[in-house]
Amino acid sequence: MKLKRKSTLLAAAALSLLGLTASAQETVKIGVLHSLSGTMAISETSLRDVVLMAVEELNAAGGVLGKQIEPVVVDPASNWPLFAEKAKELITQDEVAVTFGCWTSVSRKSALPVFEEYNALLFYPVQYEGEEQSLNVFYTGASPNQQLIPAAAYMIDDLEMKKFYLLGTDYVFPRTANKVLKAYLLSVGVPEENIMEEYTPFHHQDYQSIVGKIKTFAAGGDACVLSTINGDSNVPFYKEFANQGLTSEDCPIVAFSVSEDELRAMEVPPLVGHLAAWNYFQSIRTPENMAFVKAFKAYCEENNLPGGKDRVTCDPIEAAYFGVKVWAAAAEKAGSFDVDAVREAIYGMEFDAPGGAKKMHATNQHTYKPVYIGEIMRDGQFKIISESDGLVEPDSYSALLHTDGNFPAPTGGPKN
């Protein structure tokens, strides 16, 4: 009786183990590496949400290569070294096939050596400063020639601005972006004395003295602010700007990190008329984009996410979303989740994103995208006032900073 019971228990345990093994074989894990707390949560939480929505859509359609996608969500908490630690956990412990994540360039640069060491893959969905090309990263946000330069050119050519206040958060994206912007402004004849440059720490809250300096700088007109402020510091900056009586008529702000999603946390009426440069706006009126917006609102409502049906889409949300779909299509094309095979399958891929047709570059890991200038409206949306003629080819390195024409070789990739 005891021997028989023991055999039965062993058989049951074996069947249970087989079931667990089969279950594991039916899924593929992906990493989601976005700050859900800290100063960047205002921007990054929505990227987590849309990645999970894309996963839900793929799973409902049968998954990828016959496997259901199992997302592993971690919170690096706006702590830059923690991005590297969490990336390593996702790769070595959770054994994810790919990771979708990061917002700030300092978080990406913190995690980049980990992805290159293990030849793992990161999809990075946010506009950035360029000066990087890793075989272990696909950049679905804008490079400088797809955001920074077109915005500065618009301010000069269309609005006839002559003075530029470059204001940013003190880290790699704003500082490098402003190097590119300053080089461009000087190249088109803006005198150096007409360019001001200033930085504040992450989570900076007191902009009284800085806005006072902007007010003095803008006296007489023909001046604008090119803003690379990131995270929740945008709230007190725009509030102080309005408190001191400045408007978009006096001194327009062109933001590179304020989208519809950040405007949800801000008092919008005083911001009307200020601008932003992106590659996507929720206000794009196509059936495909309207369906995407509707689906995201419904997903947030059905999953009881903060904001529910009042949620909005924005450029990084679209880029995070189509990044998941590009990876899935590449895995299907390659017939494998192997990083090297997926990478090769992505090169030159053309696809339809919510905002319209886009294309992955054939060699430099970046994305062909349109460029839009948008004006803030009272409802927190953007009126598109300028757009590029079709897709703009991305530059991983700016010719404005490499006048000798020598560009660094790509980093990362397969190890010998």
Instruction: Check whether 118 has a pLDDT greater than 80.
Output: yes
Tens digits of per-residue pLDDT, 133-152? 999 999 999 999 999 999 99
Q: Helix, strand, or coil here: 310?
A: helix
Position 12 scores a pLDDT of 45
CA 77 from chain centre, in angstroms, equals 16
For residue 373, give the nearest of 365, 358, 384, 381 by alpha carbon.
Answer: 384
Contact 130, 144 (CB under 8 A): yes
Beta strands in 78-152 (DSSP E): 99-101, 122-124, 137-139
Instruction: Check whether 265 has a pLDDT greater than 80.
Output: yes
Position 415 scores a pLDDT of 81
56: left (phi > 0), else alpha (psi -120 to 50), else beta? Answer: alpha
Tens digits of per-residue pLDDT, 320-363? 999 999 999 999 999 999 999 999 999 999 999 999 999 999 99
Give the whole-number percent of the chain exceeding pLDDT 70.
Answer: 94
Position 17 scores a pLDDT of 42
At 343, list the tokens: 């990478």
DSSP label of 283: T
Instruction: Check whether 127 has a pLDDT greater than 50.
Output: yes
Please state the rounded mean pLDDT for residues 245-252.
96
Position 2 scores a pLDDT of 38
Instruction: pLDDT band for 21, please (50, 70, 90 cuts).
Output: very low
Instruction: Check whether 10 has a pLDDT greater than 50.
Output: no
For residue 186, give the nearest of 171, 200, 197 by alpha carbon.
Answer: 197
Between 315-334 and 287-302, two packed helices, what is the crossing angle to 10 degrees? Answer: 100
The domains located in the chain, with CATH, are: 12-142+285-369 (3.40.50.2300), 145-278 (3.40.50.2300)
Instruction: Check whether 16 has a pLDDT greater than 80.
Output: no
Position 416 scores a pLDDT of 62
Segment (H or E) for 168: strand 163-169
Tens digits of per-residue pLDDT, 22-42? 444 699 999 999 999 999 999
Position 25 scores a pLDDT of 64
Tens digits of per-residue pLDDT, 176-235? 999 999 999 999 999 999 999 999 999 999 999 999 999 999 998 999 999 999 989 999
Where is average pLDDT lowest: 24-28, 125-129, 251-255, 307-311?
24-28
